[in-house]
Amino acid sequence: MELQAIKNRFGIIGNATELNYALGVAVQVANTDLTVLISGESGVGKEAFSQIIHSLSARKHNPFIAVNCGAIPEGTIDSELFGHEKGSFTGAVDSRKGYFETVNGGTIFLDEIGELPLGTQARLLRVLEAGEFIRVGSSKVQKTDVRVIAASNKDLLQLTERGKFREDLYYRLSTVPIRVPSLRDRKDDIPLLFRKFAVDFAERYKTSPVQLDEDAKNLLIQYSWPGNVRELKNIAEQISVLSQDKLISYQQLRRFIPENTQNRLPMVMPSAGHQAPNDFSNEREILYKLFFDMKKDVTELKKMFLEILKNPSLAADTQEAFAREMKEFKAPEHFSGNLVNSSFQPQPVVIHNNGNGNSNNEIYHHEEVEESLSIMDKEKELIVKALKKHKGKRKDASSDLGISERTLYRKLKEYDITE
């Protein structure tokens, strides 16, 4: 069956290479009984791939059940999967069949399998290797013929190294691995998905579908989408319901998208479940940029000084070049008036040679000019440079600085910078 027909049948939107490859593997493995491990971030649509595999297999007329392993309490997960006997634990007033018994002949999809307790992992391994299981509170071995498709948004191999997941179970599950790409890895598919969701919600709420102008479309593409397709669908629904206009602009879309723009600078990652305040992150990013520039300058100065020490004859040339630079020097705006107006003359740096070709590195006279180390001054200087570079275009300047346009506007007012 062609991939496009598969996409149409199961509502898969997109043409990204990684997505097509994942679908191709799913179609190829569907008509076998091999165990499949689907990996990918939360919200990418891993369950849809499990349904594709089941629907194209010889088991398609038999039961299919999806189980979220992370949503079942640890104390009852064994009972849910393998069943239990009457009186086997408090509250077990009757015998009960588990999923591996009720879905016999079909397919079971174990989502978030990395959340399974180690004891349950051992029971699952026996099912995969021998097709056998034992109810909780029983000693009778039962047979089952169930195909297992597992999924996880965690790196199971890393969990095995930390002792959180059985290594033998990992290799048994990953007979055929399928990786579903995140939404930020298939940027060209984002406008297609948004348009599909907008049309669907327009039909549901009996209204006209919303559309995006070019700037809004670019914003949609550049957003990092930590919640992937699920988050995109939620935002499309919010816009469809709450927006008064049907043509959405950049500023209108910003109200629905969180302040979580893609950053090109290194940053300290917040701990799991906690998002660092946006303004703090933006200011930190400017500091990183400043520190990188300072480090580069210091490295160049070190190289130059070492060259002078090795070859003292370079000192005179260096002094002349420095004097020429100072004549053309234009002080930054944040320097004090006294420094700008003073007639600064560089003092000679004298490096003495002891007669045998080696310098004694003795410096008889020098004058130090203290540079401003104020963070606010450096931040203001970077903002002014960015605005000049992009001829006053705030959008381009904020992108180059790695901050949002709203934060740049606030900084302009704060530092009284006129464009």
Supply the CATH number for residue 225's domain.
1.10.8.60
**Is 318 contained in some domain?**
no
Shared-domain flag, residues 100 and 160: yes
Query: Is 290 contained in some domain?
Result: no
**CA nearest neighbour of 112 among 54, 68, 156:** 68
Q: What is the pLDDT of residue 50?
A: 96
- Which pairing describes strands 351-353 and 359-363: parallel, antiparallel, or unpaired? antiparallel
Write the burial class of residue 361 (CB in 10 Å: 0-12 exposed, 13-18 middle, 19+ buried): exposed
The two tokens of residue 17 are: 């290479």
Given 181, 211, 242, the domain boundary residue is 181
What is the full per-residue pLDDT of the chain (419 aa) written as tens digits?
Answer: 588 899 999 989 999 999 999 999 999 999 999 999 999 999 999 999 999 999 999 999 999 999 999 999 988 999 999 999 988 888 778 889 999 999 999 999 999 999 999 999 999 999 999 999 999 999 999 999 999 999 999 999 999 999 999 999 999 999 999 999 999 999 999 999 999 999 999 999 999 999 999 999 999 999 999 999 999 999 999 999 998 889 999 999 999 998 754 443 344 344 444 444 444 445 555 665 666 667 667 777 777 667 667 676 655 555 665 566 555 545 444 444 444 444 445 455 444 445 454 444 444 444 444 555 567 777 888 888 888 888 888 888 878 887 887 788 778 877 778 76
371 falls within a domain: no
pLDDT for the residue 312: 63
- 189 lies in which domain range? 184-254
Look-up: residue for tokens 């569907």? Answer: 30
pLDDT of residue 240: 93
Domain check: are 68 and 154 in the same one? yes
Contact 46, 111 (CB under 8 A): yes
pTM over 0.85: no
pLDDT of the residue at 391: 83
Cα 173 from Cα 195, distance rounded (Å): 36
Going by DSSP bridges, is the β-strand pair 211-212/247-248 parallel, antiparallel, or unpaired? parallel
In a domain, 44, yes or no: yes
Is residue 36 within 8 Å of residue 175, measured between CB atoms?
A: yes
CA 120/CA 178 separation, integer angstroms? 23
Does residue 38 form part of some domain? Answer: yes
Asked whether residue 101 falls in the same domain as residue 15, the answer is: yes
For β-strands 141-143 and 147-152, DSSP reports them as unpaired
Number of domains in the chain: 2
Residues 195, 89 share a domain: no
Number of Cβ atoms within 10 Å of the Cβ of 244 = 5
pLDDT at 363: 42
What is the predicted pLDDT for the residue at 344? 44
Instruction: Using the 3D structure, point to which of 254, 283, 315 is the last residue of a domain.
Output: 254
Identify the helix (H) or strand (E) that includes residue 212.
Answer: strand 211-212
Residue 189 lies inside a defined structural domain of this protein: yes
Q: Are residues 206 and 70 in the same domain?
A: no
CATH assignment of the domain containing 148: 3.40.50.300
Predicted pLDDT of residue 336: 43
Question: Does residue 402 form part of some domain?
Answer: no
Name the domain boundary from 211, 235, 254: 254
The verdict on residue 262 lying in a domain is: no
Give pLDDT, residue 270: 41
For residue 143, which of 92, 105, 86 has the smallest C-alpha distance? 105
For residue 274, the model assigns a pLDDT of 42
